[in-house]
Amino acid sequence: MDSALIPEGVKRCSFGKFALGIILVGGVLLWGVYAMLLIWLKGLNQTNMNDFYGFALWIWADLGVIALGGGAFFIGLLRYIIGKDELKNIINYAVLIGFICYSSALLILAIDVGQPLRSWFIFWHANIHSMLTEVAFCLSCYFAVLTIEYIPLILENRQLNKVPFFHNLAHNMHEVMAIFAATGAFLSFFHQGSLGGTPAVLYGRPFAFREGVFIWPWTFFLFTWSAAAYGPCFTLFVTRLTEKITKKKLVKQNVIDLLAKISGWTMGTYIIAKIIDTWYWATVTAPAMGFNLIDFYSNNPFYGVWILVAEIVICGIVPALILLTPKGRSNSTLLFTAVSLACIGVLLNRWVMVLQVMAVPVMTFENWVMYIPSWQEVATTILPVAYGVILVMISFRYLPIFPQERELNS
Amino acid sequence: MKEEGKHKKAKKYGMVINLDECTGCGACMVACMAENNVPFKEDESSKLDSIAWMRVYKLTNGKSYPEADICYLPRPCMHCEGDHGHSPCVSVCPATATDYNHETGIVSQIYTRCFGCRYCMAACPYHARYFNWWDPVWPEGSTKYLSPNVSPRMRGVVEKCSFCFHRYQLAMDKAYLEGRTELEEDEYQTSCTQACPAGAITFGDLNNPEHKVHQLAKPDNKHGGRPGNPNVFRLLERLGTNPKVYYMSSREWVRQAGDNYLDNEDFAKNYRH
């Protein structure tokens, strides 16, 4: 039915199967849209956020998708600026995933603010001292860059590409893509960092506060570093997942191996920096404010030392070691385990830096406050996931995302 | 922050709350809500999302009879200056919807500019900032009793104690009409101060040696406003928020409850002022 739109030389499932998939995921999407409308119409009282949890599930989701979407800028940097040419075979997918992640982040932010119609105040009345201002500017600009990077891919659709203007536009955009890749990397370094700075500048919150250099707290660098390390892992994770679902080999092993190796090194060095940061915070920063490390991990039903071990050891050191060894990278089960653990690790880190910051009591006469999101919050967090799946399905079916697919499946 | 931005000759309004005199009656909370058109919910049983610019906490010393002791601690906005000149909340607001007034030391909230990101709430360790999760609903006829001097807030914005800033404006208007530029101590007082039946709250200019707050707190402006009075302390002093609300108590456990200390720190030895 839609074979004229499908890239030449590749096989796709029947249109009926594809449409059924879209309808199923579309149902989930509509559930999220319903919750989103409820929130926009009735307000944030539809959530389980409260005055202790001004930041909650959505801000975690925001930080999470931006970290996971970091693969786009880092792979772009490696491909166009550093010159790792093999990565051209995975950059399209990284851009698509990045586009989904960043558009999701913007959507979640639009739901999260109390007065969405005033969102533009962040640009109009910008406070240059606020980390969020920097995040808003860079995030918007980088989303524009990702859109520019995604457009030539759309124009390469079999039918669109027949139009000479679109063909030439796509070609010329590819020619200058290095400029956008460099711009994207520059912007990402700053907004990933500013997101790291967002909790760390809260000097009234000893769990979050970090010292640093000049105006940048250490987490400014750690967040950028972790996005560079874990973002490509998410690209590898989704690529592997797509391969499993479509039962096709889409990217050659040498490309996977190279990216996994680079991620391993970035992750390994990040984890060392993270351990040093945690050590300094636990032994110097927090005690100066009257807190022992264990104060942050006791007297509550959820946040224990396990979360620190899970983030740093199980989802940090372990995947880094797997990715650093040739055997780990060549074994598909081990590789998939490593990238999965890595994704959990970075999401755990963002959770801790958002939710645990809110949970820890600061005044001596207050207690830990726990939080369970409402169904509206959950539905609106799943909404971008459903949107992402649909965009991946459509893009995979109609656009030449994987340059090596034809060769690998002939 | 540059030196000229800091308080020198400007006013620095603040409070000293005598915790030995506070009975926990809640009159300050009621007066504050009435004065500032603070909205309330139909069901106020959950305090996690109800608004109280002034909130009274109950503290206990954790001991059993006969050593058991309690203390009520009223907590307005602390109007922090920050040891380095940046209030925790003001510096983070992305839309400049909250501001530090260098003439009075009061931290303001611009409701019509706030777009409800709640970053300031995350920044405030005192939980002095509240979000309007609901549209304010006033019972039939009660709108006639709203204060015309304070704008009610809409759903989706943050609000907090303003040290009854409208009273300052009214007092200054009156002073200007009378050809004065300075206020007498009793011309500008917050509603909670006036409502306290025990007289536990003292309000005034911390920079003015003639004002009672200055005499009680004896703030040392060279060291972030730290109190010179040994019975006076501030909440979470160690964080460096440099708040303008001081607490006074003759009881050591109460003073110790104002901040966090490590197990191996000897409060009595190291932190007794």
Report how far residue A136's alpha carbon sits from residue A142's, in angstroms, rounded to the nearest whole number. Answer: 10
pLDDT at B270: 62
Q: What is the per-residue pLDDT for B53?
A: 97
Q: What does pLDDT average to over chain B?
A: 93
Q: Provide the pLDDT for residue A2.
A: 87
CA distance A159 to A166: 10
* CB within 8 Å: A289 and B257: no
Write the pLDDT tens digit of every residue in B215-257: 999 999 888 899 999 999 999 999 999 999 999 999 999 999 9
Preferred mutation among B56, B99, B129, B260 to probe A, highest tally of A CBs within 10 A: B260
pLDDT at A1: 79
- Probe site for chain B from A194, A201, A203, A354 (most B CB atoms < 10 A): A203
Asked whether residue B7 carries a pLDDT value surpassing 50, the answer given is no
Interchain proximity B121–A51, CB inside 8 Å = yes
Sign (positive/negative) of CA torsion B92, B98, B100, B105?
Answer: negative
Q: Three-state DSSP class for B45?
A: coil
In-domain check, residue A377: no
**B205 min Cα distance to partner chain A (Å):** 25
Q: Is the pLDDT of residue B206 over 60?
A: yes
Distance from CA of B250 to the nearest CA of A (A): 18
SS (H, E, C) A63-112: HHHHHHCCHHHHHHHHHHHHCCHHHHHHHHHHHHHHHHHHHHHHHHHHHH
Q: What does DSSP assign to residue B234?
A: -
pLDDT of residue B35: 97
Tokens of residue A103, six digits: 């558009």
A290 and B135: CB-CB below 8 Å? no
Query: What residue type is A206 in one-letter code?
Result: P
CA dist., res. B32 & res. B178, Å (int)? 28
Could you tell me the CA-to-CA distances from A5 to A153, A161, A297, A410 in Å, in that order? 14, 10, 55, 19
For residue B158, list chain A residues with Cβ-Cβ distance below 8 A.
114
Mutate to test the interface with B, among A131, A140, A363 (most CBs of B within 10 A): A363
Q: Which domain holds residue A303?
A: 49-371
Separation CA B48–CA B239 (nearest Å): 24
d(CA B25, CA B28): 8
pLDDT for residue B162 = 97
The shortest C-alpha distance from A284 to chain B (Å) reads 12
Contact B48 A50 (CB under 8 A): yes
Chain B, nearest residue to A44 by Cα: B133
Residues A125/B113, Cβ–Cβ less than 8 Å? yes
Please list every residue in chain A whose beta carbon sits closer than 8 Å to the beta carbon of residue B261: 290
> CB distance A363–B265 less than 8 Å?
no
Contacts of B48 in chain A (CB under 8 A): 50-52, 369
Residues A353 and A347: their CA atoms lie apart, in Å, by: 10
Kind plus residue range of the DSSP H or E element containing A170: helix A164-175
CA angle A376, A37, A386 (to 5 degrees): 65
A118 interface with B at CB cutoff 8 Å: yes
Look at B156 and A132 and tell me if their CB atoms are within 8 Å: no
pLDDT on residue A244: 95
Query: What is the distance between the alpha carbons of residues A341 and A230, in angstroms, rounded to a whole number?
Result: 10
In a domain, A243, yes or no: yes
Percent of chain B's residues with pLDDT above 70: 95
Q: Is the pLDDT of residue B5 over 50?
A: no
Q: How many whole angstroms separate alpha carbon A182 and alpha carbon A103?
A: 20
Contacts of A369 in chain B (CB under 8 A): 48
Residue A244 φ/ψ, nearest 5 degrees: -70, -45
- Between CA B80 and CA B239 the distance in angstroms is 11
Beta-strand relationship, B245-248 and B232-233: antiparallel
Contact A112 B117 (CB under 8 A): yes
Note whether A289 contacts B: Cβ–Cβ < 8 A.
yes
> Is there a domain that residue A3 lies in?
no
Tell me whether residue A384 is in a domain: no
Three-class secondary structure of residue B232 per DSSP: strand
Nearest CA in chain B to A359: B122
- Residues of chain A short of pLDDT 50, as ranges, are none
| Confidence at B265, pLDDT banded by 50, 70, 90 | confident
Contact between A114 and B120 under an 8 Å Cβ cutoff? The reply is no
Q: Work out the average pLDDT over B79-89.
A: 93
Overall number of domains in chain A: 1
Q: Which residues pair with A321 in a beta bridge?
A: none
CATH architecture of B3-270: 2-Layer Sandwich (3.30)
**Does the pLDDT of residue B272 top 60, yes or no?**
no
A 330-389 → B contacts, CB under 8 A: 357-358, 362-366, 369
Whether residue B114 and residue A50 make contact (CB cut-off 8 A), yes or no, is no
Rounded to a whole number, what is the distance in Å from the CA of B238 to chain A's nearest CA? 5
- Tokens read off for A402: 């994987």
Instruction: For residues A359 and A332, give the distance between their C-alpha atoms in angstroms, rounded to a whole number.
Output: 39
